[in-house]
Amino acid sequence: AQSVTQLDSQVPVFEEAPVELRCNYSSSVSVYLFWYVQYPNQGLQLLLKYLSGSTLVESINGFEAEFNKSQTSFHLRKPSVHISDTAEYFCAVSASGGYQKVTFGTGTKLQVIP
Amino acid sequence: GAVVSQHPSRVICKSGTSVKIECRSLDFQATTMFWYRQFPKKSLMLMATSNEGSKATYEQGVEKDKFLINHASLTLSTLTVTSAHPEDSSFYICSARPGTGWSVAPLHFGNGTRLTVT
């Protein structure tokens, strides 16, 4: 079974400052890793994913995450945040291969301060 | 692309009644859909995996007779909360994975349903 730990439940950051949201996972097998974003009263939207290949993955809105196998981490970063980035961010993991269940972390609320 | 529509977005019902929530994949087929429940300030809890044309697979601790799941087509899954009680009040989210075979495609989520049982 897989598990995900997001140690920070809330991260306040000033607008245009950099941010890092931490994610660590546990698994005995190869994994796929995801970051999802949730805006209030909405479902989740995929932000970025790591399936294989380059360990650095990027989203279209400036976020990036790096898969670090030795540290079992998949931290999410953005060099300069905007007010519109205020949302809940969930890290998720699944065992590699088709039709595997996805396990979510408890989420980190990013609060961008103007 | 890959839009999942969930309906209704909000529902209030009286204790003892049943509520049906629909999850549709609008522009793709999904052999498998997933139903999650989200508690305040907590992660998403997988309730069940909905498989088209067969019985759903429920997670441990989820009452299959209370949360009825039907996946009648490749684009529609429904969750019925039977004899709802106030403790069933929650945010329910469905998701679907594009593809009808082995797939590594990530999940696409509906916008969720806020259920309030009075």
CATH number, domain containing residue A26 = 2.60.40.10
What number is the average pLDDT over the span A28-35?
Answer: 89
Using a CB-CB cut-off of 8 Å, the residues of chain B touching A105 are 43
pLDDT of residue B100: 59
A61 to chain B nearest CA, in Å?
18
8 Å CB contact of A103 and B46: yes
Place of tokens 């039709």: A99
Nearest CA in chain B to A109: B41
pLDDT at B101 exceeding the cut of 60:
no
pLDDT band with cut points at 50, 70 and 90 for residue A99 = low
User: Percent of chain B beyond pLDDT 90?
Assistant: 62
pLDDT at A7 exceeding the cut of 60:
yes
With vertex at residue A57, the alpha carbon angle to CA A37 and CA A96, rounded to the nearest 5 degrees, is 85
Residue-range definition of the domain harbouring residue A22: 3-113
Question: What domain count does chain A have?
Answer: 1
pLDDT at B72 exceeding the cut of 90:
no
Note the Cα B33 to chain centre separation in Å: 8
| A60 Cβ contact partners less than 8 Å away, ≥ 6 residues apart | none
Using a CB-CB cut-off of 8 Å, the residues of chain B touching A99 are 32, 97, 102-103
**Direct distance between the N- and C-terminal alpha carbons of chain A, in angstroms, rounded to an integer:** 41
Please report, for residues B52, B90, B113, the alpha-carbon distance to residue B70 in angstroms, rounded to integers and kept in the order given: 8, 20, 17
Using a CB-CB cut-off of 8 Å, the residues of chain B touching A106 are 41-43
pLDDT of residue B104: 58
pLDDT of residue B44: 85
8 Å CB contact of A99 and B32: yes
β-pairing, A10-14 vs A108-113, is parallel
Mutation site for A-interface testing, chosen from B47, B71, B104 by largest number of A Cβ within 10 Å:
B104
8 Å CB contact of B104 and A41: no
Mutation site for B-interface testing, chosen from A99, A101, A106, A108 by largest number of B Cβ within 10 Å:
A99
Phi, psi (rounded to 5 degrees) for A83? -55, -40
8 Å CB contact of A44 and B44: yes
pLDDT at B48 exceeding the cut of 90:
yes
